[in-house]
Amino acid sequence: MAMYWDPIREIDRLTESMLDAARSPRVMSIDLYRDGDHYVLAADLPGIDPGSVDLDVDGQLLTLRAERTSRSDGDAKWLVRERPAGSFLRQITLGDGLDTQKISAHYENGVLSVIIPVSEQAKPRKIAITSAAAADHQVTTG
């Protein structure tokens, strides 16, 4: 197998791995968007066992934890090892107007999707407008 060796890239990788080892847990990449009457948080968790994923809500704080175990094949000699192992953590402060009792989540193809519904009180609603003439008409005919 032909490998291209770039000394600058290797120095960058080594520096990053030393800094990364001191920083734990790691932050996972997420997308967050609104879709109708709910928000969707999508977290990239490739190679993570769904059983190691923990999602909880405490007041207005949503906490997502996951663990990727290091693969060690005994006498394996790694040529490239760029996928970090260890703990991952992400905390999101939820705003008002969300129904934290109805949050749901599913894990598929390395992506955890968390559905956060908007509470009924926070949803937009139409307000009926009455005119003074209509109110007078109801009084005289009633």
Residues 15-56 have pLDDT tens digits of 766 665 555 677 788 999 999 999 999 999 988 989 999 999
Look-up of token digits 């890239």? 9
Q: Per-residue confidence at 65, pLDDT binned at 50, 70, 90?
A: very high
Q: How far is CA 70 from the centre of its chain?
A: 23
pLDDT at position 82: 77
| Predicted TM-score (pTM) of this structure | 0.67
- 24 contacts: CB under 8 Å, gap ≥ 6: 86, 87
SS3 18: helix
- Of 120, 122, 123, 117, give the one whose Cα is nearest residue 102: 117
- Of 69, 76, 32, 36, give the one whose Cα is nearest residue 53: 69
Look-up of token digits 């920083």? 23
Whether the pLDDT of residue 61 is over 70: the answer is yes
> Of 84 and 103, which is predicted with more confidence?
103
pLDDT at position 1: 46
- Range name among 21-30, 62-71, 108-117, 119-128 with the lowest pLDDT average: 21-30
Strand order in the sheet with 61-68: 54-58, 61-68, 86-93
pLDDT at position 79: 81
In 8-133, DSSP assigns E strands to 30-35, 38-44, 54-58, 61-68, 86-93, 104-108, 111-117
